[in-house]
């Protein structure tokens, strides 16, 4: 053991060791300690989980990505009911009916589905990390047709359908850049 007295730390380090100073030290800084963090977004939809058309649905579209990754899902049922679900902050954890399409709106959506070219999905296209991916599955006749497209490179044959479905989603951010 050493006989040297233990050095008590002083309140201030020597000037040569100071890396930075906070302005207004000793005053209220606006920092909050021991506070709960803001609610984190719920788990994103797994990328390897393909979008499935729910029973009774005419079409479903999942829009995912963005700077703060999130996903939003809109489903239009055969009778025109619009169902919505999202993992964004403040969104309900369960799917919610958010509206009913008028007969003429439903006819326009059916026409957009019939006119959509599901085969035009760009082969080997990659998503910009800050952009959105659109996954669509629709009932066309007796078969399911699906496509995936990425913001900034959406094929012309899918643009109208994506615009119509995107317009059904509640406004969360200005992101409709369908081209």
Of residues 7 and 67, more confidence is placed in 67
**For all residues of the chain together, what is the average pLDDT?**
74
Of residues 7 and 17, more confidence is placed in 17
The CATH number of 57-168 is which of 3.30.1560.10, 3.40.640.10, 3.90.1150.10, 3.30.420.10?
3.30.1560.10
Give the mean pLDDT of 115-127.
Answer: 71
Cα–Cα dist 93/102, whole Å? 27
Any idea where the domains of the chain sit in the sequence?
57-168
What pLDDT does residue 51 have? 83
CB 149 within 8 A of CB 155: yes
35-61 pLDDT tens trace = 454 444 445 444 457 788 888 899 999
Query: What are phi and psi for residue 112, nearest 5 degrees?
Result: -65, -40
Residue 52's region, left for phi above 0, alpha for psi from -120 to 50, else beta, is beta
**Which pTM does this prediction carry?**
0.65
125-160 pLDDT tens trace = 666 767 888 899 998 888 899 888 888 888 888 999
Nearest to 75 by CA among 85, 67, 83: 83
Where does the pLDDT of residue 113 fall: very low under 50, low under 70, confident under 90, or very high at 90 and above? very high
Of residues 71 and 36, more confidence is placed in 71
What pLDDT does residue 1 have? 56
Where does the pLDDT of residue 110 fall: very low under 50, low under 70, confident under 90, or very high at 90 and above? very high
What pLDDT does residue 89 have? 64
Residue 103's region, left for phi above 0, alpha for psi from -120 to 50, else beta, is alpha
Give the mean pLDDT of 17-43.
Answer: 52
């Amino acid at each position: 053991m050493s006989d040297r007295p233990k050095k008590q730390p002083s309140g201030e380090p020597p000037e040569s060791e100071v890396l930075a100073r906070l302005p207004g030290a000793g005053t209220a800084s606006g920092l909050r300690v021991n506070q709960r963090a803001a609610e984190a977004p719920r788990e994103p939809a797994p990328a390897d989980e393909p979008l499935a058309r729910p029973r009774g649905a005419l079409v479903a579209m999942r829009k995912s990505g963005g700077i703060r990754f999130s996903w939003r899902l809109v489903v239009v049922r055969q009778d025109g009911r619009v169902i919505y679900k999202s993992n964004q902050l403040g969104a309900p954890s369960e799917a919610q009916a958010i509206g009913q399409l008028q007969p003429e709106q439903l006819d326009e959506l059916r026409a957009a589905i019939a006119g959509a070219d599901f085969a035009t999905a760009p082969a080997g296209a990659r998503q910009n990390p800050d952009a959105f991916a659109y996954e669509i599955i629709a009932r066309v006749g007796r078969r399911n047709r699906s496509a995936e497209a990425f913001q900034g490179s959406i094929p012309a044959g899918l643009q109208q359908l994506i615009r119509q479905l995107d317009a059904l989603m509640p406004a969360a951010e200005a992101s409709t850049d369908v081209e």
